[in-house]
Chain A
Amino acid sequence: MGLLEIHLRQRREAGRALLMPYLTGAITGDWVDYLRAFVDAGADAIEIGLPFSDPTLDGATIQEASHVALSRGASVRAILAGLSGLELGVPLVASTYQNLVLHDGPEAFCGALRTAGVDGLIVADLPLEEADEVEQAAADAGVDLALLASPATPPPRLAAIARRSRGFVYAVSLMGTTGERAALSASATTLAGQLCESTDRPVLLGFGISTPDQAAQAIRTADGVVVGAAIMRRILDGASPADVGAYLAAMRQALDQEREPAS
């Protein structure tokens, strides 16, 4: 079991709902300060987007964030260099698209993640059938390759995804792209429930989770949440690390309150 999964399991077993905020790498000059603010606000892991020119699974907000970061000269190399030696105290999970993994080859890519201290990897356009090569390279480098499950995934396939995923299983809450939504979709609860029944691997629910209420609702079935577009929209609108930290702290509080009666 990789470091990411060990860490997430320990926190879950301690009765904590998991919170994984997302940041598009190199979105601003002081982007690393956002990561520190995430940790201070109670993040259990952090997802770092390695921006790609054609993010087909992302909605308008993360598309714009990717575009802004790339316009500032962001690259995989530069972002990983920025992460090296940070020692944030929580695991980092890189998230990107297969073209960037293939660019130098999966082995070199996963090796670079390891060197930069990144423990996990999400590849948006890498379904089960195509995952072998990256799966092997990630395992060799000691990086957990987390797979995604969606509301359209049939049950036998869900079980296979849960079995082969490492670190956690990323439950995509709805049929759509990343982005804020007014309410948590019904499909989110169904999917998270199905996954939690078929695996004891941590299940994180993402896509559309924007408010403390939605997050609290999500962890009634899932082990934790991923928050991306809601953070990136704030940053694109000029929010400082402290502003985003305050937003996340409110979410942390809602998660802790939701867990309290049970623990």
Chain B
Amino acid sequence: MTDLRLRPRDLPRPRDLPIVRPAGTMSDPGPRGKFGDHGGRYVPESLVAACQEVEDAFRDAWSDPGFRGSLATLLAVHAGRPTALTPAWRLSAELGITLLLKREDLAHTGSHKINNVLGQALLATRMGRTRLLAETGAGQHGVATATAAALLGLSATVFMGERDVERQALNVFRMRVLGAEVVPVGTGSRTLKDATSEAMRHWVTCVDDAYYCMGSVVGPHPYPWMVREFQRVIGEEARGQCATELRTGVPDYVVACVGGGSNAAGTFAGFADTAAQFVGVEAAGGAGATEGRTGVLHGFRSRFLQDDDGQITEAESIAAGLDYPGVGPEHAYLRDLGRARYVTVTDAEVVDAALRLARTEGILPALESAHAVAWVIRAAESGELPPGATVLLTLSGRGDKDTATLMELV
């Protein structure tokens, strides 16, 4: 597993890695990629074959112990997995609950995004592609994509809204240092929504040599499913760690922030067969699951923020990573089923929560992840979380990227 002479193109064949085949909710959505009424593949005809090719390649790879072993190796030696499960001692005492933090902020590049990107980049090489395309909002997925491309010797083109290019200059620089081309997108709201549209437009023109590396559990089938599977590692590790850490073995609550919803989906997937209650926390200004209505955008059917005429409206959040007007189709389905509930917190609550976690635990979370912390604080203080409740919270990323924002506010 930890062969130090490892070269990316020369990954070791794995030993007998178990292949988990889940059943029931959060399993294979089938050839149509349906999560209840949501999901599907609403793409122009020109992209149908490309999506099918990705699906076929993923199905083949995901049932291949060789692929799984290579990915597990990269996740270990490059991304630094497994990530720690940290009991939040002091905050737990203040809130009267047991709060455990799944530390995706410790993963390489600073967030859970690397889990998905390593999986997709490895898949791209398996498909013979030489170039990765990606969209990015805050730049975390873009940086992760640029990283994986560098690691596997691929080129990368990252589409990013002009507004985000201005707001996230540090991440733009990181991507360029890593060798990626960053394409500013000047259409529409000039943020993540438009960067995604532009990446899809570009993909149509180069399906034969480029692989579209989607950053969240959104997009046409198989992306929502595939990205969830690549993020499942969060939930599976946490499941094992909770079994050791908690007397009950399984937490009462599993909480994560939701933009598109990839860290939440990966975390929930590890607990799908338990009685743990799932809570997805959205930004008050970007609450696709909470306030959206049924629609189709970027290749999938789900819940989207839209006006009375059916035009998609802008999401607005202090956390750029949650600035997406929709939510992954599986989240819309989990909500329909009542298996997960979705709540919102305000920017002010988020900033307070980030600072409180920093001062009680010595961990400065990304503002995205601080949404989950904010809800736990509110729910514990209001009594919505019963005293003594056990809570697993996925801390999806670290707050370094947000220091400029915080400096203006604190």
Contacts and interface: CB of A to CB of B under 8 A. Distances in A.
Interface of A: 52-60, 63, 67, 70, 75-77, 97-100, 102-104, 124-130, 147-154, 157, 161, 172, 175-177
Nearest to A124: B44
Contact of A175 (B32, B46, B296): B46
B40 A130 contact: yes
Interface residues of B, number: 35
Contacts of A152: 45-50, 207
Contacts of A55: 197
Contacts of A63: 187
A70 B187 CA distance: 14
B44 A130 contact: no
B27 interface: no
Interface in B148-199: 187-188, 193-194, 197
B162 to A, nearest CB: 15
A128 to B, nearest CB: 8
Interface of B: 32, 40-50, 187-188, 193-194, 197, 200-201, 204-205, 207, 294-299, 301, 304, 306, 309-312
Residue of A53, A147, A151 contacting most chain B CB atoms (<10 Å)? A53
Contact of A126 (B42, B200, B295, B312): B42
B312 A53 contact: yes
Contacts of A151: 46
If over half of B's interface residues share one DSSP class (helix, strand or loop), that class is named, otherwise mixed; here it is: mixed
8 contacts: A54-B193, A54-B197, A129-B40, A129-B48, A152-B49, A153-B45, A177-B204, A177-B205
Given A56-B197, A176-B204, A103 B310 contact: yes
A106 to B, nearest CB: 12
A175 B46 CA distance: 6
Given A99-B295, A153-B49, A129 B32 contact: yes
Nearest to A70: B311
A127 B295 contact: no
A129 B49 CA distance: 12
A42 to B, nearest CB: 29
B45 A149 contact: yes
A76 B42 contact: no
A148 B309 CA distance: 25
B281 to A, nearest CB: 25
A74 B139 CA distance: 33
A125 B43 CA distance: 5
B218 to A, nearest CB: 13
B205 A176 contact: yes
A99 B45 contact: no
A102 B296 CA distance: 8
Contact of B294 (A60, A102, A128, A150): A102
